[in-house]
Structure 1
Amino acid sequence: MRCAVLAACLLLASPLTPAEEVIHVAYSERPPYLITQPDGTPGGLTGAPATAAFHNAGIPVQWHKVPSNRQLMMVKDHASPSCAIGWFNTPQRRQYGKFTKAIYRDRTWVVLSNAAFAARNIGSLAELARQHDARVLVKDNYSYGNLDAFMTHWQPVKAISTASTLKMLQSVNTGMVDLMFVSEDEGHYIMQHHAAQHPNLRLLAFKDMPRGMERHIMCGTNVPDEVIARLNKAITFK
């Protein structure tokens, strides 16, 4: 009995701080941004700095490899403190999430198209805006940065997908859609590692493409500000 009372007193004297709570961190396999390492942690352009930030900040985490829409549900759900890796900081997402400092910045956007569409020899967004019959594939609940406003003005035939990027490119390769926007990093990775299986893919660089956006760790509003502050202190990207 005395041991039980002593244990209870110790718990009251040394409560867990919010920063010591396990944070559930979600990501999906998306090379070169996110690649699961042999030890089960995410690596890659955004995965590695995020993993390092949680580790160096001394914040315990539980990794969850889930689709992007599930990541958003975890961040919005207040049942447990959750974060997701590599998301753009947009006004809409700030309504339900908190963001760390940037962990990476994309270089620019490129167009991944099939050979038939590439044969139109379009060299700029201004020319693309006149192609109203173009069929563009976009990821559900994704933001494409400054290209969001461009697509609203352009109003192409739009197809929405919940599949992974690697599955989406199959639709481009087979001609089900004409094109999709990807980052330069992702585009070069796809052409280097998957072009042999998808020979109709073409990578188009337009002269007036906007610069890529910064990527962040996005957390739910129930994640304490102390956790965000500790992550920001641990993030080394500038």
Structure 2
Amino acid sequence: MTLYYYERPPFSVTAPDGTVQGLVIAPTRAALERIGMAYVFQSTSVNRIFELVRDEHGTACSPGWYWTEERARFAKFTKAIYRDKPIIGITRKTLHVPVGTRLADLLAAGTTLTVTHGFSYGQYIDGLIAHADPNQLIPIPTGGPRMIDMVLTGHTDLALTSEEDASAYASQGIGGPDYPIVHFPDVPMGDPRRIMCARGVPDDVIERLNQAIDGP
């Protein structure tokens, strides 16, 4: 099985020695080894991952994705291999957000938000974004450093990311006094991340992976 991933520390990353590591890589590797399946990890782009998984005759898989209704129309999903901590906000330094402010209230007040094409922030936040004024949403093609740059340069009021992701940007001042991290009381625990596979992957392979994810 070929498992495609993109560089997103700490979820999936190629280490200096060439090994693939990360929060969603380790449980995926463990499940595959439990069922005795040969595998290889291959780095590629997010867009390429979706192209491969959308191939209904393909057998590509990719670890670390949220289940959504739209994705379920073209992909199969395993049980959860990891559950995110709650999504947090990174704000520009001139935006004062009192402790206890809800994300729903910020968006209702017209706060501009950077959103990444094709990404899900979990069911609750996706629902807030769907009902927000389109004029306050600033779409970008990729997340990660580009999303952070939008905050650092003042092009957006707010960017959303996981606590796990935010730790990777501490060297850029994220979490410091100029670019504080905001915890929202209305945002629940993050959604489960799963292995997403093309429709060509047999159901019995998905079931065997599910059994292995539950434990040895």
TM-score range, shorter chain: 0.7 to 0.9
1:45, distance to aligned residue in structure 2 (A):
1.2
1:190, distance to aligned residue in structure 2 (A):
3.3
Contact 1:43–1:51 (Cα < 8 Å) also in 2: no
Asked whether 1:112 is paired with 2:90, we answer yes
1:195, distance to aligned residue in structure 2 (A):
2.0
Which letter does structure 1 place at the counterpart of 2:155? M
Give matches, 1:10-159, under 5 Å. 23-37=1-15, 40-78=18-56, 80-117=58-95, 119-121=96-98, 123-132=101-110, 134-145=111-122, 146-155=124-133, 157-159=136-138
1:54, distance to aligned residue in structure 2 (A):
1.9
Structure 1 outlier segments of 4+, above 6 Å: none
Which letter does structure 1 place at the counterpart of 2:44? V
Asked whether 1:206 is paired with 2:184, we answer yes
| Distance (Å, rounded) in 1 between the aligned partners of 2:67 and 2:26 | 19
What 5-or-longer segments of structure 1 have no aligned partner? Answer: 1-22
| Distance (Å, rounded) in 2 between the aligned partners of 1:128 and 1:236 | 39
1:185 corresponds to which of 132, 154, 164: 164
Q: 1:177/1:34 Cα in 2 relative to 1: closer, same or farther (>3 Å)?
A: same
Deviation readout 1:139-176 (Å, 9 max, x if unpaired): 11011111011112232511222224123211111111
1:82, distance to aligned residue in structure 2 (A):
0.2
Query: What is the match of residue 145 of structure 2?
Result: 166
Q: 1:40/1:224 Cα in 2 relative to 1: closer, same or farther (>3 Å)?
A: farther
SS in 2 for 1:31: coil
RMSD: 2.2
Which letter does structure 1 place at the counterpart of 2:34? N
SS in 2 for 1:64: strand
1:211, distance to aligned residue in structure 2 (A):
2.1
SS in 1 for 2:69: coil
With structure 1 as the length reference, what TM-score do the two structures score? 0.80
Asked whether 1:224 is paired with 2:202, we answer yes
Contact 2:7–2:43 (Cα < 8 Å) also in 1: yes
Asked whether 1:233 is paired with 2:182, we answer no
| Distance (Å, rounded) in 2 between the aligned partners of 1:206 and 1:220 | 35
1:78, distance to aligned residue in structure 2 (A):
4.0
Give the stretch that moved more between structures: 46-55 or 32-41: 32-41
Identity of aligned residues (%): 34
Q: 1:193/1:228 Cα in 2 relative to 1: closer, same or farther (>3 Å)?
A: farther
With structure 2 as the length reference, what TM-score do the two structures score? 0.87
Deviation readout 1:65-113 (Å, 9 max, x if unpaired): 1121211111012454101111001111111011111000012111111
| Distance (Å, rounded) in 1 between the aligned partners of 2:12 and 2:183 | 23
| Distance (Å, rounded) in 1 between the aligned partners of 2:150 and 2:36 | 42
1:200, distance to aligned residue in structure 2 (A):
3.9
1:137, distance to aligned residue in structure 2 (A):
1.0
Number of equivalent positions: 211
Q: 1:93/1:41 Cα in 2 relative to 1: closer, same or farther (>3 Å)?
A: farther
Which letter does structure 2 place at the counterpart of 1:144? Y
Deviation readout 1:121-154 (Å, 9 max, x if unpaired): 372124213322x221111101111101111223
